[in-house]
Amino acid sequence: MSRAASALPLRLALPKGRMAEGVTRLLADAGIQLRYGARQYRPAISLPGVEAKILKPQNIIEMLHVGSRDIGFAGADWVAELGAELIELLDTGLDPVRLVAAAPRELLVDGLPPRRLVVASEYERLTTEWIRTRGLSATFVRSYGATEVHPPEDADCIVDITATGATLEANGLEIVEELMTSSTRLYAHPGALADPPRRAAIDRFVLLLRSVLEARQRVMVEVNVTAARLEEVVAILPCMREPTIAPLHGDAGYAVKVAVPRQRLPELIPEIKARGGTDIVVSTLSQIVP
């Protein structure tokens, strides 16, 4: 890439639709602000040297693939469907879904419909690959949204994404097989990573987002404990490296501070108390940079 190309802004693609809210909140928690003016699809972004554009997730993948965007957020399901040669930088864990095959319960025999199938889906590539690997006799029919309404009159089986399975169940469909899991992820065009200035800007951007995602998984626990029982408390703390320990006023013991996984709190708090911990304070974190 030429020096002139390297001087261009880092081109960031932001999703519209269901992904937009989670991505916007993630950016805001990282201190990155978007400001919308008359050109709603080109918001100003508070990161120097970065320009943002809002696109549909499928378009983001296509633009990344051809290199007109450097980095962008998209679902792993559509990256797989479009066969794009992209580099995954970060799995945000936002909008988790499963891509599944599902069919009306009354048609299932040993977990699959017993005859030649009509399979409806928006995912032609992934669906035809599933049909091939399963050795099914089937015809693919493209759907354009609301795939779950096709069976039983217009299709025997569907391949679609689901978060909870509630929509499938409401339409009398039972999951036959899970094809893949997906979530909102940050991708890059390989050429952007090959250019040192762009790579440095991308690494800084990923660091900011990763610090927020890490903080969302942890909370800060602060506890006071006597010197005699300090090691008992420290022994059970699932810290990132070592806890921060400071003496209390008047040699009354120690204050211990540690960032712990949020899901460990129900078991951890009673155990800390049982080992002599007092004045336990739990607080949320904004960002963690290891």
Measured between alpha carbons, how far is 10 from 74 in angstroms, rounded to an integer? 17
| Dmax (CA) of the chain | 81
At position 125, the amino acid (one-letter code) is: R
Tens-place pLDDT, residues 13-28: 999 988 999 999 999 9
Tens-place pLDDT, residues 137-149: 888 999 988 888 8
Category of 145 on φ-ψ map: left (φ > 0), alpha (ψ -120 to 50) or beta: left
| 211 close to 289: Cβ distance less than 8 angstroms | yes
C-alpha 79 chain-centroid distance? 14
The pLDDT, as a whole number, for residue 8 is 76
Has residue 157 got a pLDDT over 70? yes
Radius of gyration over every alpha carbon of the chain, rounded to an integer in angstroms: 25
pLDDT band of 5, cuts 50, 70, 90: very low
Query: How many other CB atoms are there within 10 angstroms of residue 149's CB atom?
Result: 14
pLDDT band of 7, cuts 50, 70, 90: low
What's the first-to-final CA gap in the chain, in angstroms? 32
pLDDT band of 111, cuts 50, 70, 90: low
Has residue 110 got a pLDDT over 70? no
- H or E element that contains 266: helix 265-274
Judging by beta carbons within 10 Å of its beta carbon (0-12, 13-18, 19+), is residue 2 exposed, middle or buried?
Answer: exposed
Measured between alpha carbons, how far is 26 from 38 in angstroms, rounded to an integer? 24
| 87 close to 194: Cβ distance less than 8 angstroms | no
> How much is the pTM?
0.85
Q: 186: closest CA among 98, 95, 287? A: 95
Category of 135 on φ-ψ map: left (φ > 0), alpha (ψ -120 to 50) or beta: left
Torsion angle of the four alpha carbons 10, 16, 18, 21, in this order, in degrees rounded to the nearest 10: 60
To the nearest whole number, what is the mean pLDDT of the chain?
Answer: 90
Write down all domains in the chain, each with its CATH number in brackets: 3-93+183-215 (3.40.190.10), 97-182 (3.40.190.10), 218-284 (3.30.70.120)
Tens-place pLDDT, residues 170-201: 888 889 889 999 999 999 999 999 999 999 99
Query: How many other CB atoms are there within 10 angstroms of residue 219's CB atom?
Result: 19
DSSP strand pairing (44-45 vs 34-35): antiparallel
Measured between alpha carbons, how far is 170 from 206 in angstroms, rounded to an integer? 39
